[in-house]
Amino acid sequence: MEKTWNNKAWFMVLPAFLIVAFSAIVPLMTVVNYSVQDTFGNNQFFWAGTEWFTEILESERFWGALYRNLLFSAIVLLIEIPLGVFIALNMPRRGIWVPICLVTMAMPLLIPWNVVGTIWQLLCRSDIGLLGYSLAKIGIQFNYASDPLHAWITVVVMDVWHWTSLVVLLAYAGLVSIPDAYYQAARIDGASRWSVFRYIQLPKMKRVLLIAFLLRFMDSFMIYTEPFVVTGGGPGTSTTFLSIDLVKMAIGQFDLGPAAAMSLIYFLIILLLSWVFYTVMTSSDAEN
């Protein structure tokens, strides 16, 4: 008997497809159009081919911003993933403290990004900020506006405070989904706490940690609002990440062609690295 296919279900997803096409595909095609043309205003465009892509890839400005982006993502991932797992392991599984801890963990995620930047900008000021003033009182001159190291510390700590909660909640969801039978078998075998974590909890958390890793990598690699509000990309170019440099090029300098080419390269880098991370981690999971 030949199987018949009902394609009416496609009409149900058609509105979603049109919305995605309007909000993502159309702007992307506009960026592609700008990346191969030049304009001098008055809506007049001239074909430039791959000129802007060559200019961006040969620019030290681009590679410097890319290096800072990769360094920032590596630092925050090395801090947030282990810290989030550690906090999740020590959160209660039962009782009244469970909702309290979950709400407390979720609070930083509810704060808008520009407000997070403003909070940390004020907090670290040595004249009116609680943290900056306290450090000045004990003899530590902390100035994120003039010292590149202090600017990096501020941006990294701010991101860890804002986004570690996401890792905590995902890791906690993975932990509470583990059946009690696994823990009972471990107690019977006399397994240590490290053995329970190594052979029971960590394998069961792998999938949610993969999601956390990919989300945090993409978010950290595309970070813009928080460091822009706090440091504006400074001092100098020390915290000028690709996103900040892209906005300066597109809006500040109004170089639409190079900015469009840079945004496409930026997009492809994120897509490529995310695919590499996903492939490596899922293949490792399949081998295990």
Chain segment 63-94, per-residue pLDDT in tens: 999 999 999 999 999 999 999 999 999 999 88
Percent over 70 (pLDDT), the chain: 94
* Predicted pLDDT of residue 10: 76
Work out the mean pLDDT of the chain and round it to a whole number.
87
pTM of the model: 0.86
Higher pLDDT, 41 or 53: 53
- The span from the CA of 89 to the CA of 72, in Å, is 26
Q: Does domain 52-287 have CATH number 1.10.3720.10?
A: yes
* Mean pLDDT calculated for residue range 39-43: 69
Structural contact between residues 52 and 35, judged by C-beta atoms closer than 8 angstroms: yes
Please say whether the dihedral angle defined by the alpha carbons of residues 211, 113, 115 and 78, taken in this order, is positive or negative. Answer: positive
Domain chopping of the chain, boundaries:
52-287
- The span from the CA of 49 to the CA of 265, in Å, is 15
* Predicted pLDDT of residue 287: 61
pLDDT bin (cut points 50, 70, 90) of residue 159 is very high
